[in-house]
Structure 1
């Protein structure tokens, strides 16, 4: 059973894909639930949602044609505690083929590196050259409080602009 349920359906303009649920998110049953995580505030600040949402309100993202998933659906914790067997890039790939969102935004280089089978050092933030059917990919700086030294909201603003123009 998944730690957090996927929030996926056809017709999505954007799907955010994280690495795995944090311990706090798993306990709360909600994506990006750690109070130090900037995810929910950022979605509002960059204009992807018209009002701030709380983590437990995550199903409401479908109203805005935004979905959520993780590369590791059956594990929880910080990236450093996860093992290679916790990740299932094939299952994620199959979901993306099924639902075909316009854009998948990885909320960390680690999540993208698992999916693309590339070292994190070989990934740049921003739109990626890979395309899956009609789906494009973007790598974002992590909104996690644990990754604050890498935080840069500009990539999130650029993603928002792309989604508003293309999706």
Structure 2
């Protein structure tokens, strides 16, 4: 689904002074329909936040605006498209817009919620998950294993726990 330029599938959840911003590739169809980040029941995002101690309780997708109270933001590389990565048009990812947002808001950490998102934004293959050598302004960059149900075979909570330790420090 493509939206007019002035509309986003899901609004950014960003402001200055955040400790952590999560960035995915694009909202899935369920997230787009429900207007909530990581809304598919098979997605492990909300569970991972809680189990890694990033959030004090397990939030549900519609509670995503409450992340701001915890110093956490959300965005996506594709703001005007939704669906599986393989179904998105080649120009769906707006890396310059992401970089401009991160430079403007300067969170301490930017965590990509998949190696695919990190690869698209950083312009290089991603080896191991975890802290990456790049910075965007002063923002440190982390790559995480995807919480998507479609990536379940590659799931590992440990990089999320390591992110929690980085964010707390």
TM-score by length of 1: 0.95
- 1:43 pairs, out of 30, 39, 49, with 49
Query: Are residues 1:135 and 2:139 paired?
Result: yes
Q: Distance in 2 between matches of 1:161 and 1:140?
A: 14
Task: Give the 5 Å matches for 1:1-167.
Answer: 1-119=7-125, 122-165=126-169
Q: Distance in 2 between matches of 1:50 and 1:156?
A: 14
Q: Distance in 2 between matches of 1:130 and 1:6?
A: 23
Runs of 4+ in 1 over 3 A off after TM superposition: none
SS in 2 for 1:86: coil
Q: Which one has the bigger helix percentage?
A: 1
Deviation at 1:144, TM superposition (A): 0.4
Q: Distance in 2 between matches of 1:123 and 1:70?
A: 21
Show structure 1 runs of 5+ residues with no match: none
Q: Distance in 1 between matches of 2:14 and 2:65?
A: 10
Show structure 2 runs of 5+ residues with no match: 1-6
Deviation at 1:79, TM superposition (A): 1.1
TM-score by length of 2: 0.94
Q: Decide which moves more: 100-109 or 45-54.
A: 45-54
SS in 1 for 2:55: coil
